[in-house]
Structure 1
């Protein structure tokens, strides 16, 4: 029995402490964000939004085209000098440079630029929202793992105490101070603590796997974390949920995403309405050419022909949309419906955000009360167990009462740890709503 206990005490700490690297909370969150498929997808989407933005800028700029062509004419053709038909093979080389600029399109081009800019910001804040959610989920898994480590420590402590108690009781039985039933009861308590330690070890392994899953960490590789010292200091949130909500609306990624999604549909609605407006386009260009007959007759030099045959043009084109099979009308109506849907979705997101903040503040304040009560409970259980321990040694109580007292103490310690970790998790969430990021910008 002593050998089993020695192996348990030696192997457990080594199996969880040996390794090349130990991960801090910040490193775990950073790794999770970098290796999550959702964040990678959002980052790629941002590059698409940027290209859409550049395309919208280009839509406001003039289009410039240059082209050239070469023709060989066999048989009858037009003489470039006399503009009459001749029956001689000829060679022609043309050069053209043209410019086209949209002067007015019902502000559709400008609205498209605004829309592209809003979509770009929407992509940015959507990515940040996904990143923050992954960071928080990882933090929750990390705190859960710390809690499981502490429960294993408590189980080891309980096992050591029960082992000492068993040895003491066996010795007292040899001296005639305790009976066989007392030894049997203490031994049952010892075996129960062995089972509890095994159970907590299994829960610890499950917590490690859960953290690996949140981090997208390779399952086959070992993951060791820094057992950070979590402060025992707790305090309630003084600000009201509404004050925090009113403050975070201006910067929280979730709120900004909802706002930009609404703005995008509003601008898209304006773009579709602009399709009913007439358009005015400016076109200008310059062209020239060179030609010669292939029968050996003399011709002007290339330089002279290019200079003498040069021509320019400039023009305005007015286009008035009259009818196109209801596509414009349908487009405006659908855009208006999407705009209204976006408004409803925005209100729903903001309402849900306020509910989340209110719940987080309530949870923090509730955990403060729970933690203080858990501390009082643990201290009372410690005193009661010390008294029961003395009574048992003096033969005033039986092992069952001592067993009950020890279990109550271990349960109180576990509840105190649970309240502490829950408080710090929710407190970090409230701080996030107050402007403290989970990760650096």
Structure 2
């Protein structure tokens, strides 16, 4: 039963391993995925969209405004008839419609400058987005190189283990033949165990490096990936051929954070013009149309007028002295509400106005806005200088690191070559009984450490040089 359960478990593990097929990704694919999933990049894209909406709104300020209004209601008790402006005391039903428009003519160039400022802000937001993409691209490239580095360390550890195992097999044969003492075999078994631990640690470091790469790409949990190992060649062209100042000037012309900072300065300068525009008079052309309706507005007509009673004299007389008499009539009246269309036609009101607004005193609001705009301009200039300083420091640090990495790589090459010869000599001596195990172990460990240092120096140099190339506008590729 136990054997059956073990076999079933192994089959299931094999099935799971096959079903979870790894995605093999290149550096560019890793960068694309990281850029697509990165939250900072997404936030910068939303900032760009917001800046574009602000630009669209600023451009729309050049066009006339048009607004329509309508009302409908009932009035009870004493009120004013909206069609006659007379007091009435009855329930009335009323409604009305109106429309108004305004066209800016002169406004101190505030609309023009607002559009300019919004365009500059939108362009700066685009460069901010590129800066976010550059940051995540560099970080992904670093994680990618770290995986390659740990893969090479794993191969070094595996090679070291295989070498120790082969030496153990040879020593075992010599011990069994009586040529070497048993202690040599036991010491080599200890060395093999140590190398196995190194192999396990190297595998764990590789797994952690892959995990860091996955986390930087924000991949879904449980998704297995592997990377394409590029054919990395170490180009040892002299880095010192290009000066730090030349690298800085090239980076100054193409790095998005510098362009964004420059655009923010220009935007703040235009914003100052917008604030100053509020000091000047504004002129606009306005127009409106309105009409209304009330069911209290009646059209009255006489149906009949019948005389009643006798003629009664009045106090009035004609010029010739003839008396004037009055006659009472029984009048029959008819009334109906004037139709909606007729009232709308009769009550139509149109207006055309030319509006001039001259600012005189507004609680120092304009003056305060101008002062705030000046402060914003100074802050933008400080930010630009700060970004330039950061870039120069980054370029100088990257340059120094690349030069140091190149020298370290050269020294590591010589060290590995020397220790390989030393190890071969000590190994031959150990096999012939001329060297003890301590010498053999020391030579082996020194070689393993030197190869590890060489791998570290190699990929550190490659990455450092890629950073310099990146700041010169060269894409991150291997």
TM band (smaller chain): 0.7 to 0.9
Q: CA deviation at 1:290?
A: 6.5
Mapped contact 1:236–1:364 kept (Cα < 8 A): no
C-alpha separation in 2, matches of 1:171 and 1:221:
47
Q: Equivalences for 1:278-427 in 2 at 5 Å? A: 278-287=281-290, 293-294=297-298, 297=335, 312-427=350-465
1:428 corresponds to 2:466:
yes
Q: Distance in 1 between matches of 2:476 and 2:278?
A: 45
Deviations 1:187-211 (A, max 9, x none): 2222211121122122222212222
**Alignment CA distance shift 1:150-1:84 (3 Å):** closer
User: Paired residue for 1:268, among 266, 271, 276?
Assistant: 271
Indicate the SS of the match to 2:102: strand
| Distance across 2 between alignment mates of 1:209 and 1:350 | 35
Distance 1:212 1:77, change over 3 A: closer
**Counterpart of 1:132?**
134
d(CA) in 2 for partners of 1:360 and 1:316? 64
Q: Distance in 1 between matches of 2:268 and 2:362?
A: 23
> What is the 5 A alignment of 1:93-108?
94-108=96-110
Structure with the bigger percentage of strand: 2
Cα distance between partner residues in 2 of 1:76 and 1:121: 59
Q: CA deviation at 1:337?
A: 1.8
RMSD between aligned residues:
3.0
C-alpha displacement at 1:70, in angstroms? 5.5
**Separation of aligned partners in 1, 2:46 and 2:220:** 23
Structure of higher CA gyration radius? 2
- Whole-angstrom distance in 1 between the partners of 2:359 and 2:476: 53
Farther-moved stretch of structure 1 (403-412 vs 283-292): 283-292
How far apart, CA to CA, are the structure 1 residues paired with 2:344 and 2:233? 85
Distance 1:297 1:160, change over 3 A: same
Of 211, 225, 228, the match for 2:227: 225
Unaligned ranges ≥5, structure 2: 1-12, 300-333
Taking structure 2 as the reference length, what is the TM-score of the superposition? 0.79
Q: For 1:166 and 1:91, how far apart are their aligned partners in 2?
A: 109
Matches within 5 A, 1:66-77: 66-69=68-71
Tell me which residue corresponds to 1:251.
254
Counterpart of 2:323 in structure 1 is none
Task: Report the Cα offset of residue 63 of structure 1.
Answer: 0.6
**SS of equivalent residue, structure 1 residue 235:** coil
Q: Give the superposition deviation at 1:23.
A: 1.8
Q: CA deviation at 1:57?
A: 0.9
Is residue 367–residue 419 contact of structure 1 (8 Å, CA) maintained in 2?
A: yes
Structure 2 counterpart of 1:56: 58
* Deviation per residue, 1:110-135 (Å, 9 max, x gap): 22212211221222111111121111
Q: Judging changes above 3 Å, is the alpha-carbon distance between structure 1 residues 28 and 297 closer, same or farther for their aligned structure 2 residues?
A: same
Shift of 1:229: 2.8
Equivalent residues of 2:172, 2:185 under 8 A apart: yes
Per the TM alignment, residue 144 of structure 1 is displaced from its structure 2 partner at its CA by 0.7
Distance 1:71 1:166, change over 3 A: closer
- Which SS does the other structure have where 1:220 is aligned? coil
The verdict on how the C-alpha distance between 1:184 and 1:73 changes in structure 2, with shifts beyond 3 A counting, is: closer
Distance verdict in 2 for CA 1:210–1:93, change over 3 Å: closer
- Secondary structure of 2:104's match? strand
| Structure 1 gap segments, 5+ residues each | 1-10
Residue 185 of structure 2 corresponds to which residue in structure 1? 183
Query: Do the aligned residues in 1 keep the contact of 2:67 with 2:101 (CA within 8 Å)?
Result: yes
Give, in whole Å, the separation in 1 of the partners of 2:279 and 2:118: 21
Q: Quote the residue 2:242 is aligned against.
A: 239
Cα distance in 2 for residues equivalent to 1:84 and 1:152: 99
Moved more, 232-241 or 126-135: 232-241
* Partner residue in 2 for 1:5: none
The answer to whether the Cα contact below 8 Å between 1:45 and 1:123 also exists between their aligned partners in 2 is: yes
Per the TM alignment, residue 39 of structure 1 is displaced from its structure 2 partner at its CA by 1.4
Give the number of aligned pairs.
Answer: 424
SS in 1 for 2:25: coil
Q: C-alpha separation between the residues in 2 aligned to 1:78 and 1:201?
A: 91
> Residue 253 of structure 2: SS of its match in structure 1?
coil
8 Å CA contact 1:92–1:290 kept in 2: the answer is yes
Give the match for residue 39 of structure 2.
Answer: 37
Name the residue aligned to 2:202. Answer: 200
SS in 1 for 2:238: coil
Query: TM-score normalized by structure 1?
Result: 0.85
